[in-house]
Structure 1
Amino acid sequence: MATFLYKLGRLAFRRRRLVALLWVALLALAGTGAATAPAATTSSFSIPGTEAQKAFDLLEQRFPEAAADGATARIVFKAPQGQKMTDAANKAKVDKTVAELKTGSDQIASVTDPYTAKAVSHDGSTAYVSVAYKVNGMELTDATREALQEAGHHAQGQGLTVEIGGDALQAMPETGSGEIIGVIVAGIVLVITFGSLVAAGLPLLTAIIGVGIGVSTITALASVLDLGSTTSTLAMMIGLAVGIDYALFIVSRYRAELAEGHDREEAAGRAVGTAGSAVVFAGLTVVIALVGLAVVNIPMLTKMGFAAAGTVVIAVLIALTLIPALLGFAGTKVLGRKQRKGGEAGDKPNVGTRWARFVLRRPVAVLLAGVLGLGAIAVPAASLEMGLPDDGSQPTSTTQRRAYDLLSDGFGPGSNGPLIVVVDGDKAAADATAQTIQGIQGHVFVSPPTLNKAGDTAMITVVPKDRPSSAATEELVHDIRDAGGDDVLVTGATAMNIDFSQKMNDALLPYLALVVGLAFLLLMVVFRSVLVPLKAALGFLLSVVAALGAVVAVFQWGWLGDLFGVEQTGPIMSMMPIFMVGVVFGLAMDYEVFLVTRMREAYVHGERPGEAIVTGFRHGARVVTAAAVIMMAVFAGFIGSSEQMVKMIGFGLAVAVLFDAFVVRMAIVPAVLALLGHKAWWLPRWLDRALPNVDVEGEGLREQLGGPASEDDRELAKV
């Protein structure tokens, strides 16, 4: 591995013009594809294997008019104090709004009259008009949205309180200027780390090129592969973070090789051969974690994982080829002013060295402080409540949330999440099912069955007594399913939410086993050790649970909510835990690989365990710290997004990197290695013979470049 990458680095350095031209051409090609492709829409949402999805598929087959997946809207009317919506004057205003909506856009499929559809509350104070569209919310034109809003404004101007709910007003998520600020912070950190504008600019430039290629490719394929708008945002978030970090490690190692007296081409080859090996394996762990999301068997999540993994692969390839090519153009400007003048000593003690020696003196205290601290932050994770966002999770300042509250007040909380019961049978079976549901507690309304044209499928609407996300509503869904038999299926947004959360819970342990198991094997090959990968996995679990605790405290409990722009607390999105496990595990292993490979490299060359820890921190702590700060800045930049999911992911990943890099990798890892001593690098001889030797430390490369290794080196390499 190291020898191949060494040759690749030298080749890219020599043929730098060709390499740079190829990457620019790829960027131009991807950009052209994105510019000419149809705009991304909301990805179709399906949950294969669940009852809610089976019911929806049955409706689509036999009741297509009831299974339309277009956008919907509800215009909710509230009569002034002392009046009712059934009063002639108010009824005339509603009729006028219905007529205006029917002629307002050719994208409208249907508009229901509340007086014939029984959409007037018992006390007469509230009524609502349901609007169905032929296309989904992201495909609605601005004119259609404006027609909907104008119809509401016209009615409101006549004395009624009018609010609009539903996904018809959904807009493309905006990230604001947060990600730009994140990139600026990353640039500042790079300048401080390298002391050179050129060296700082290289990781930023290559990361932007990589993200540009990745996101443009996703945009170009969005319509063909049914990729949602959130997919490109996630790819941008992860691509920027790992792209900057991987380039940072190559550039840092290149500067170290120059400091040892190698010429520029040789230094580029050695940097790619050594640090590049760590980049490859770090990238593999991230890819494994992202691609492993396919285990959950939810197409939307699988596509997000594969798209983000593709961006990570591009970041790795750019670090191995474009970085050495650009280093060839940069000349000695990649060095800081002190280093160019020969005044920077590579081996003098630094902050990393002093911290490592402190941990070696007090390993037990540092270990306990780190574990107990993260354990305390993880406590809120025990109160985790999961769900999918609806209008009830919107800020109270939005018309969607006010419409949600008006419906709850007028028709009961369950009116915002009605259940759709699908009966695979004739009218007699449907009537019997409706009668059975009437005997089940927990609902306020059961509609008469509506049969399809063939008379072999019926649909019954059930309005729960409690809000859609409540435990009582979930119990009602299960009771209907238990009582109805195989031919009675429950679907609707609320049932989909329940099934989605259950599928997430069921998939978490298998996903953990797959991802952690594969990464454990990969790290065992890298470090030639059993205990080091085990420690890495356990440390990751601690940091990810602590990060989930922080997410619950902020987004569910509302702690420091104002600071992070959380206007409305609520359940944590169902996909958040499993998604965080995947992404954070991959990113956490980055720091493990980059930091511990330096320790392993020193150990196999004869240093004692404690000395190897200090050496690893002397060479790697500053760069890992810079990488972590950069990654945190990039992720934190997405907290300003208007999309709750993006905001939550940005916050969760930022705090997870904080905990994992600065507590687990910088404190707990050296403390554990100090306590284990030589045992940390133990590997059974039979396993050593069975595992492939990928030469991450570059031992084979050194034999080739500097003569044969000593017998001691070869023996130590087997430890």
Structure 2
Amino acid sequence: MKQGENVKGIAARAAMWSARHRTLAILGWIAFVIGVTVLSGQIGTHQATNADQGHGDSGRADKIVAAAGFPVQAAGEMVIVQNRAGSDRAAALTDLTKQLKVTSNVTGVQAPIESPDKKSSLITFSITGDPDTAKDRVSPALDTVAKVQAAHPDLYIAEGGDASGDKLIGDDLDEGLSRLGMLSIPVTLGILLIAFGAVVAALLPVALAVTAVVAAIGLLAAASRFAPTVDTTMHVMLLVGLAVGVDYCLFYIRRERDERRNGADPHRALLIAAQTSGRSIWISGLTVIVAMAGMFLTFDTTFVSFAVGTILVVATTVLGSLTVLPAMLSALGDKVDAIKIPGLYRRRSDGRFWTAFLNLVLAKPLISTIVAVGALAAIAAPALDLRTKAEGIEDLPPNASIVQAFKAVDEAFPSKTSPAEVVVPAAVPKAQLATFTKAVGNSGGKLTGPVETRVNPAGTVTVVSLGLVGDDALDVLRKQVVPATFGPDALVTGERAGDADFNARLDKSMPWVFGFVLGLAFLLLLVSFRSVVVAITGVVLNLLSVAAAYGMLVWVFQYGHFEKQLQFQASPGITNWMPLFLFIILFGLSMDYHVFVLSRIREGHDRGLSTRDAVREGIGRTAGVITSAAVVMVAVFALFATLPLASTKQLGIGLAAAVLLDATIIRAVLLPAVMALLGERNWWLPRWLGWLPQIAHEPPPAATPDRERALAGV
């Protein structure tokens, strides 16, 4: 920083300090990243358990079972044998039972049971050892089942269970997530090479984003002491970290390079970038963090883990963008454009396309608004039919053998795939259990056996398992059968009970989450831009992009478009946690763009331009870089659609579609058209809010030649 220079704002002060002490800033960042990574390896990350993730009665029941000291249950497996063309199953069942008993890693082979329709038989057994690693030992059993199937081709013989599911589906998911992590970085780098046309400039955003993600994952280990983390948190952190890290660097570097090409000296170019783009990074990062913090209000372990992870990665990225990035730019100077790529590098973008397009939009703002709103309304319309459902077997690839086996077992033996469990905090007398079994038989087919029990070693907790048939079976069990037989202290858990309690928790949380995110985003925009109209416009435009994403999800995943291309099976609803999660992520990322665009528009207006001219200049100068940032996000998000789970496909398609629409229809058409229609009313602020702080958006004034000669260099 030049002595005597008036530098205002956290971003500018941080940048100028980093420029003066660039070696310290760069080495300090490297030491920080390495330090927290080593620390995380030493202390480890606390993983959330199943008992941590429950809600309502099922959550309380899971905690009782976890504390009761039940022996660890081995991973259970099932083999279904079904008639095909009237074949006899007896010989196959004998053969299968005999071979399973001599198969390595197989224990507890049970006698076959028959389905009520007499068309299916089921053999259950367990995999020896730790259930968490059973997938590594299930291959011999799978080989045995395949061998018996080959010997009896007139029957359908298939295996399903915890270990085989983890192996066949879990391995595919792990491989897909690893592939996602490996591809996202080169894809991002490739797009940045096209955007900048220079290798060094393209590497800087990737380097900052990756190191910020690594540092944030290191910090997550410490944070997990207060909020246990779930496995997918790190993948979400990579997703968000790449998105915001590349965005922040793109805007900062592009502004610094633009100022240099406009004739500013290196110091002034960096100062202008810090006091404009740097300030926008600060505000945008705070806005994204506020959006992510909304997940805390769900009081759900998974959402809380996502909130902690994303807040850490955004905060770390902001820290790096305001410190090590200006230090690197100061150290590199004009060498940031080094290793130019022929045909791609341009000293200055003429922006002819965006200028012509904006002139068209601003010439007919009312028509442009109607067309844009109409297009978004058409895309969002299917959202009126949005329904949610819990994740189930139909969310897995329909052609997977494990999926087909589970469906067959579920139809023939519903109590075996996702049984309900009644947790009674006491020993249950035989007479009471007989009464319960009789009530199950008198439930009109909604509850089904076999009724099985297990008691903890201390004899203080009894778990009773049974099957549920039909949509209202859980209500019958919880509201009628259990209170009448076991009393009010008995609790029902299991997959369906857990899903119902999770949905109830989300329903209670959503109004608070939406209100929190929308309210604080409005306040941040109001304080930053001193305009009620700008704040309202920003919130409404971001809600439009979220609505469009919801509509796209329904059109694709409920209505079944692109099933073959995306390899999924249409279902009656979207994954229950998806709408809330998409709202939070999309609102945060949309505000990211919005703050940068509005800052450039306000900058022009503060210099004396009319609102229409400020809009033309602000959007015209940022449209190219926003397009580049959006392309990076769309490409990375689209990679999620290649993963095997329907929920990850929904996440990828929803995010990619929303960002694409946000960067095109909303930012390039609707925002300039609406601001042109409103004119000077965009900047309306009631007198009673005049106490809000004045924040300058225009670049600092240039120093005079005499003053420049009097000031020491950086």
Q: Same fold (TM over 0.5)?
A: yes
* TM class, shorter-length: 0.7 to 0.9
Matched-pair contact (CA < 8 Å) for 2:219–2:312 = no
Q: Paired residue for 1:73?
A: 77
Give the alignment partner of residue 623 of structure 1, picking from 581, 602, 625. Answer: 625
Q: Paired residue for 2:453?
A: 450
Query: CA distance change for structure 1 residues 128 and 660 in 2, over 3 Å: closer, same or farther?
Result: farther
- Within-5 A mapping of 1:561-580: 561-566=563-568, 569=571, 571-580=573-582
Three-state SS of the structure 2 residue aligned to 1:612 is helix
- Paired with 1:511 and 1:14, the residues of 2 have a C-alpha distance of 43
Q: Paired residue for 2:357?
A: 355
* Cα deviation code 1:43-101 (max 9, x no counterpart): 53644541111222233344735xx587543333335654555x3x4443343355346
- Paired with 1:496 and 1:343, the residues of 2 have a C-alpha distance of 57
Q: Paired residue for 2:422?
A: 421
Three-state SS of the structure 1 residue aligned to 2:566 is coil
Query: CA distance change for structure 1 residues 184 and 445 in 2, over 3 Å: closer, same or farther?
Result: same
Matched-pair contact (CA < 8 Å) for 1:555–1:572 = yes
- Paired with 1:183 and 1:499, the residues of 2 have a C-alpha distance of 38
- Within-5 A mapping of 1:371-382: 371-382=373-384
Query: CA distance change for structure 1 residues 621 and 706 in 2, over 3 Å: closer, same or farther?
Result: farther
Give the alignment partner of residue 158 of structure 2, picking from 156, 163, 170. Answer: 163
- Paired with 1:167 and 1:702, the residues of 2 have a C-alpha distance of 66
Matched-pair contact (CA < 8 Å) for 2:216–2:312 = yes
* Cα deviation code 1:269-302 (max 9, x no counterpart): 3212221110111111211122221110111221
Matched-pair contact (CA < 8 Å) for 1:189–1:626 = yes
- C-alpha deviation, 1:6, in angstroms: 1.8
Matched-pair contact (CA < 8 Å) for 2:78–2:160 = yes
Residues paired across the two proteins, number:
683
**How large is the Cα RMSD of the aligned pairs?**
3.5
Q: Paired residue for 2:110?
A: 113
- Paired with 1:677 and 1:70, the residues of 2 have a C-alpha distance of 69
Query: CA distance change for structure 1 residues 122 and 563 in 2, over 3 Å: closer, same or farther?
Result: closer
Matched-pair contact (CA < 8 Å) for 1:44–1:300 = no
Structure 1 residues 372-381 or 423-432, which shifts more? 423-432
Three-state SS of the structure 2 residue aligned to 1:562 is helix
Query: CA distance change for structure 1 residues 531 and 438 in 2, over 3 Å: closer, same or farther?
Result: farther
- Within-5 A mapping of 1:160-559: 161-169=156-164, 170=166, 171=170, 173=174, 174-175=176-177, 177-178=179-180, 180-215=182-217, 218=220, 226-335=228-337, 350-411=352-413, 415-424=416-425, 426-427=428-429, 430-441=433-444, 443-448=446-451, 450=453, 452=455, 457-466=461-470, 471-473=471-473, 476=476, 479-480=479-480, 484=484, 486-559=488-561
Matched-pair contact (CA < 8 Å) for 2:586–2:658 = yes
* Cα deviation code 1:587-608 (max 9, x no counterpart): 0001110001111111122211
Structure 1 residues 633-642 or 654-663, which shifts more? 633-642
Matched-pair contact (CA < 8 Å) for 2:212–2:320 = yes
Three-state SS of the structure 2 residue aligned to 1:127 is strand
- C-alpha deviation, 1:639, in angstroms: 2.1
Query: CA distance change for structure 1 residues 261 and 437 in 2, over 3 Å: closer, same or farther?
Result: same
Matched-pair contact (CA < 8 Å) for 2:295–2:307 = yes
Residue 443 of structure 1 aligns with an amino acid whose one-letter code is: K
- Paired with 2:352 and 2:51, the residues of 1 have a C-alpha distance of 52
Matched-pair contact (CA < 8 Å) for 1:43–1:300 = no
Residue 464 of structure 2 aligns with an amino acid whose one-letter code is: I
- Paired with 2:393 and 2:102, the residues of 1 have a C-alpha distance of 25
Matched-pair contact (CA < 8 Å) for 2:422–2:493 = yes
Give the alignment partner of residue 609 of structure 2, picking from 607, 610, 624. Answer: 607
Query: CA distance change for structure 1 residues 314 and 415 in 2, over 3 Å: closer, same or farther?
Result: same
* Cα deviation code 1:15-46 (max 9, x no counterpart): 22222222223333455456678799785364
Matched-pair contact (CA < 8 Å) for 1:73–1:165 = yes
Q: Paired residue for 1:714?
A: none
- C-alpha deviation, 1:184, in angstroms: 4.0
Three-state SS of the structure 1 residue aligned to 2:324 is helix
Three-state SS of the structure 1 residue aligned to 2:80 is strand
- C-alpha deviation, 1:334, in angstroms: 3.0
- Paired with 1:706 and 1:443, the residues of 2 have a C-alpha distance of 87
Give the alignment partner of residue 150 of structure 1, picking from 132, 143, 146. Answer: 143
Q: Paired residue for 2:697?
A: 697
The alignment's TM-score, normalised by the length of structure 2, stands at: 0.86
Structure 1 residues 90-99 or 594-603, which shifts more? 90-99
- Please state if 1:5 is matched with 2:6: no
Give the alignment partner of residue 582 of structure 1, picking from 572, 581, 584. Answer: 584
Query: CA distance change for structure 1 residues 62 and 278 in 2, over 3 Å: closer, same or farther?
Result: same
Q: Paired residue for 1:16?
A: 22
Q: Paired residue for 1:712?
A: none
- C-alpha deviation, 1:659, in angstroms: 1.8
Query: CA distance change for structure 1 residues 125 and 167 in 2, over 3 Å: closer, same or farther?
Result: closer
- Paired with 2:54 and 2:441, the residues of 1 have a C-alpha distance of 29
Matched-pair contact (CA < 8 Å) for 2:394–2:571 = no
Matched-pair contact (CA < 8 Å) for 1:43–1:229 = no
- Paired with 1:212 and 1:475, the residues of 2 have a C-alpha distance of 46
- Please state if 1:560 is matched with 2:553: no
Matched-pair contact (CA < 8 Å) for 1:178–1:639 = no
Matched-pair contact (CA < 8 Å) for 1:27–1:213 = yes
- Paired with 1:652 and 1:316, the residues of 2 have a C-alpha distance of 25
Three-state SS of the structure 2 residue aligned to 1:487 is coil
- Please state if 1:57 is matched with 2:63: yes
- C-alpha deviation, 1:151, in angstroms: 4.1
Residue 25 of structure 2 aligns with an amino acid whose one-letter code is: V
- Paired with 1:325 and 1:562, the residues of 2 have a C-alpha distance of 49
Matched-pair contact (CA < 8 Å) for 1:14–1:265 = no
- Paired with 1:40 and 1:455, the residues of 2 have a C-alpha distance of 31
- Paired with 1:438 and 1:126, the residues of 2 have a C-alpha distance of 21
Identity %: 27
Residue 419 of structure 1 aligns with an amino acid whose one-letter code is: A
- Paired with 2:351 and 2:528, the residues of 1 have a C-alpha distance of 28
What residue ranges of structure 1 are gaps of 5+ in the alignment?
708-719
- Paired with 2:224 and 2:73, the residues of 1 have a C-alpha distance of 18
- C-alpha deviation, 1:623, in angstroms: 1.4
- Paired with 1:629 and 1:164, the residues of 2 have a C-alpha distance of 43
Query: CA distance change for structure 1 residues 423 and 343 in 2, over 3 Å: closer, same or farther?
Result: closer
Matched-pair contact (CA < 8 Å) for 2:101–2:109 = no
Structure 1 residues 498-507 or 327-336, which shifts more? 327-336
Matched-pair contact (CA < 8 Å) for 1:384–1:552 = yes
* Cα deviation code 1:517-568 (max 9, x no counterpart): 1111111111111111111111122211211221222233320133334366
- C-alpha deviation, 1:636, in angstroms: 1.4
Residue 548 of structure 1 aligns with an amino acid whose one-letter code is: Y
Matched-pair contact (CA < 8 Å) for 2:58–2:491 = yes
- Paired with 1:653 and 1:178, the residues of 2 have a C-alpha distance of 15
Residue 452 of structure 1 aligns with an amino acid whose one-letter code is: V
Q: Paired residue for 1:710?
A: none
Three-state SS of the structure 1 residue aligned to 2:565 is coil
* Cα deviation code 1:654-689 (max 9, x no counterpart): 111112221222222212111211111111122120
- C-alpha deviation, 1:225, in angstroms: 6.3
Q: Paired residue for 2:684?
A: 682
Query: CA distance change for structure 1 residues 583 and 345 in 2, over 3 Å: closer, same or farther?
Result: closer
Query: CA distance change for structure 1 residues 568 and 359 in 2, over 3 Å: closer, same or farther?
Result: closer
Three-state SS of the structure 2 residue aligned to 1:558 is coil
- C-alpha deviation, 1:104, in angstroms: 1.0
- Paired with 1:151 and 1:40, the residues of 2 have a C-alpha distance of 38
Residue 314 of structure 1 aligns with an amino acid whose one-letter code is: T
Q: Paired residue for 2:710?
A: none
- Paired with 1:151 and 1:226, the residues of 2 have a C-alpha distance of 39
